[in-house]
Amino acid sequence: MEVDVNSGSVLDRIVEARRASIAHRQRVLPEPVLKMAVKSAKPARDFAAALSRPAVNIISELKKASPSKGLLREDFRPIELAKGFENAGAAALSVLTEEEFFQGSAKDLRDARKACEIPVLRKDFIVDAWQVWEARAIDADSFLLIVAALSDAALTELLGLGRELGMEALVELHTRAELDRAIGVGAKIIGVNNRDLKTLKVDLGTSFELIKAIPDDCIAVCESGIRDGAEIKRLRAVGFDAFLIGEHLMTQADPGAALAALIASAQ
């Protein structure tokens, strides 16, 4: 699904649609049922540790489509992609589970995680505790929280619930004000998204500016717009620990080979 990026906030429209979807799914699968499912979930893998290695740490994203570009990969096979990325040296995976705008699913995440041994992040628009319980129930090891979509109270609640369930969230932001909020609620993994979710425009300058204010004891993740090893070298030099890359890899004939080449060029 392609979205008209000039008609209001893309983020607002996706979140509104997500809230409607959650309301329906909560009636079908109440939270108490999810809590029972969590008891049989596999132990969470350490997402923070995977991003802290003294290496080129890439979070390879499995993303079938995007709001701005539409379908990215017609031949989308999560199991093969997960294996290929792990073999190529990915530190972790990110799997889109939002159905309407990104054509993702919980099944994609389950399949990818079963196929590999590295941590898997649930990439979605999480606005309710029910989704955090669902993330752990489907064996996610971490999940995304977008500062622009949440109040400080909600950020604090969802961060805390994730930790209770053994998951440290990736807290994503786009501005200095959002970074201050993330630090204020105690985020430990901070992602700077170079793509403005209100306009979908990408600017790597966002990362170079905001890294100056990210505390040294936080894990800094650069997201969106990275296409070559030279950019990764520059970003590592200023303090980024890990890099989330999706669209560049998803549009390659062999995503695993593309990742291996990217890591080699960033050494």
Q: Is residue 135 part of a domain?
A: yes
Q: What is the CA radius of gyration of the chain?
A: 17
Q: Is residue 248 part of a domain?
A: yes
Q: Is residue 1 part of a domain?
A: no
Known catalytic residues? 61, 63, 123, 172, 193, 223-224
Q: Is residue 5 part of a domain?
A: no
In whole angstroms, give the CA distance from residue 127 to residue 170: 14
- Domain housing 142: 10-266
For residue 146, list its beta bridge partners: 172
pLDDT in tens, 103-120: 999 999 999 999 999 999
Q: Is residue 3 part of a domain?
A: no
Q: Is residue 173 part of a domain?
A: yes
**Amino acid found at 179:** L
pLDDT in tens, 169-222: 999 999 999 999 999 999 999 999 998 877 778 999 999 999 999 999 999 999
Q: Kindly state the DSSP code that residue 1 receives in the 8-state scheme.
A: -
For residue 122, list its beta bridge partners: 95, 143
Q: Are 119 and 142 in contact (CB under 8 A)?
A: yes
Counting the structural domains of the chain, the total is: 1
Q: Alpha-carbon dihedral of residues 38, 41, 47, 50, nearest 10 degrees? A: 170
- The structure's pTM equals 0.94
Residue 7: what pLDDT? Answer: 36
pLDDT in tens, 116-174: 999 999 999 999 999 999 999 999 999 999 999 999 999 999 999 999 999 999 999 99
Q: Is residue 2 part of a domain?
A: no
Name the region of 93 (left: φ>0; alpha: ψ -120 to 50; beta: rest): beta
Residue 201: what pLDDT? Answer: 85
Degrees (nearest 5) of the Cα angle 114, 91, 166? 65
Q: Is residue 167 part of a domain?
A: yes
CATH code of the domain covering residue 45: 3.20.20.70
In whole angstroms, give the CA distance from residue 202 to residue 194: 5
In whole angstroms, give the CA distance from residue 168 to residue 227: 27
Residue 62: what pLDDT? Answer: 98
Cβ atoms within 10 Å, residue 212: 10
pLDDT in tens, 247-257: 999 999 999 99
Which distant-in-sequence residues (6+ apart) come within 8 Å of 243 by Cβ?
56, 57, 58, 59, 221, 222, 223, 226, 232, 235
